């Protein structure tokens, strides 16, 4: 039996799995219980990537995070893409499968980025259909993640938390709450991140993402770019801790995709998240006991 050299955190912690960390992460001298991979990086049928992922699956839970399914576009989901995702999910039986409230392409042209979806009654209908289709094809629940937004769409007339709550109710999907994305969108679009989080119905939230962002130095207005390439900012950690103190812990994953640092830095980020939770819990109990 593996004995972790440090106490496990108060929640299930994971990090995004990067090839440069494979060896160290697999050795297991860390408190993590799950790893997340981008689905599309494992759409090949074999080779070294699958040997590694198989080895990880033997020791840890997995989260398979899709980025290119484009459920937010009105055109039909790509049959081949969904089939490749199904093969992967069947093969690894991950703990979580997730996608985004976003589109990456429409009508056969793809953009390789998570693009903003107009949130209105019409898009709600086809997005529900797409989530239903994915869940029935995979034979399991998926989680839908809130994206980082850089642009207000005049075509939208439903607020994102309401849209996500209703999507979860209508389809039975869960939510992947990315608190950094909430903070980035709130700053860029000018709304209150805390108010957004207050509106999210916590019972739908199956996983939380934390990550860092950068400030665009060229922008005239404050513009944050969700680059997954920096430490989690203190405001995001505070929002996270308050959410957990209020609604209870959720499996929490630290993402880092740009200028990926040493594995120890990612572990350090999960520890910061843990300490933020402990601090928030302490404050809460102090307040409760007067």
Told to check if 223 binds another protein by CB under 8 A, we report: yes
Told to check if 76 binds another protein by CB under 8 A, we report: no
Told to check if 78 binds another protein by CB under 8 A, we report: yes
Note the helical H segments in the chain: 22-27, 48-59, 79-92, 121-138, 160-171, 179-189, 193-199, 234-247, 263-288
- Residue 106: CB minimum distance to another protein, A: 4
- Toward another protein, which CB reaches closer, 103 or 196? 103
- Toward another protein, which CB reaches closer, 104 or 252? 104
CA–CA dist 288, 290 (Å, integer)? 5
Told to check if 111 binds another protein by CB under 8 A, we report: yes
Strand 174-178 and strand 13-16: the pairing is unpaired
SS3 158: coil
CA–CA dist 125, 163 (Å, integer)? 11
Told to check if 106 binds another protein by CB under 8 A, we report: yes
Strand 252-254 and strand 205-210: the pairing is parallel
Rounded to whole angstroms, what are the CA distances from 35 to 70, 77, 81, 195? Answer: 23, 27, 22, 30
Q: Is 201 exposed, middle or buried (0-12, 13-18, 19+ CB in 10 A)?
A: middle
- Residue 114: CB minimum distance to another protein, A: 8
Told to check if 150 binds another protein by CB under 8 A, we report: yes
- Chain positions 116 to 145 lying near another protein, rule: CB under 8 A, are 116, 118, 122-123
Q: Looking at 217, 220, 259, 289, which residue binds another protein (CB under 8 A)?
A: 220
SS3 174: strand
Helix (H) or strand (E) holding 60: none
The DSSP letter of residue 102 is: S
Told to check if 158 binds another protein by CB under 8 A, we report: no
- Chain positions 167 to 206 lying near another protein, rule: CB under 8 A, are 188
Told to check if 225 binds another protein by CB under 8 A, we report: yes
Q: How many positions of this chain bind another protein (CB under 8 A)?
A: 50
Torsion sign across C-alpha atoms 41, 144, 150, 179: negative
- Residue 241: CB minimum distance to another protein, A: 28
- Residue 202: CB minimum distance to another protein, A: 30
Told to check if 152 binds another protein by CB under 8 A, we report: yes
- Toward another protein, which CB reaches closer, 44 or 248? 44
Told to check if 259 binds another protein by CB under 8 A, we report: no
CA–CA dist 221, 64 (Å, integer)? 35
Per CB under 8 A, the segment of 10-18, 57-65, 197-205, 216-224 that binds another protein is 216-224
Told to check if 249 binds another protein by CB under 8 A, we report: no
Q: Looking at 5, 7, 80, 217, which residue binds another protein (CB under 8 A)?
A: 80
- Find out whether 16 and 232 touch, Cβ atoms under 8 Å: no
Residues that bind another protein (CB under 8 A): 40-41, 43-51, 68-70, 73-75, 78, 80-81, 84, 103-113, 115-116, 118, 122-123, 149-153, 155, 188, 216, 219-221, 223, 225
């Amino acid at each position: 039996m593996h004995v972790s050299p440090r106490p496990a955190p108060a929640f299930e912690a994971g990090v995004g799995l990067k090839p440069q960390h494979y060896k160290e992460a697999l050795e297991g001298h860390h408190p993590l219980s799950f790893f997340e991979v981008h689905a599309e990086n494992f759409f090949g049928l074999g080779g070294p990537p699958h040997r590694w992922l198989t080895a990880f699956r033997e020791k840890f839970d997995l989260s398979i995070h899709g980025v290119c399914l484009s459920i937010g576009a009105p055109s039909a989901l790509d049959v081949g893409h969904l089939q490749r995702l199904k093969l992967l999910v069947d093969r690894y039986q991950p703990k979580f499968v997730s996608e985004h409230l976003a589109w990456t392409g429409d009508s056969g042209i793809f953009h390789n980025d998570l693009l903003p979806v107009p949130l209105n009654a019409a898009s709600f209908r086809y997005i529900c259909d797409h989530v239903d289709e994915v869940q029935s094809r995979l034979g399991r629940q998926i989680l839908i993640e809130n994206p980082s937004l850089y642009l207000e769409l005049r075509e939208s007339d439903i607020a994102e938390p309401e849209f996500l709550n209703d999507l979860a109710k209508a389809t039975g999907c869960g939510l992947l709450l990315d608190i950094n994305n909430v903070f980035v969108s709130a700053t860029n679009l000018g709304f209150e991140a805390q108010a957004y989080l207050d509106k999210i119905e916590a019972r739908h939230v199956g996983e939380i993402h934390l990550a860092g962002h950068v400030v665009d130095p060229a922008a005239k207005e404050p513009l944050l770019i969700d680059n997954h390439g920096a430490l989690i900012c203190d405001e995001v950690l505070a929002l996270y801790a308050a959410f957990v103190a209020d609604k209870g812990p959720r499996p929490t994953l630290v993402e880092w995709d740009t200028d990926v640092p040493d594995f120890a830095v990612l572990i350090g980020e999960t520890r910061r998240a843990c300490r933020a939770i402990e601090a928030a819990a302490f404050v809460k109990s102090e307040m409760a006991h007067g």
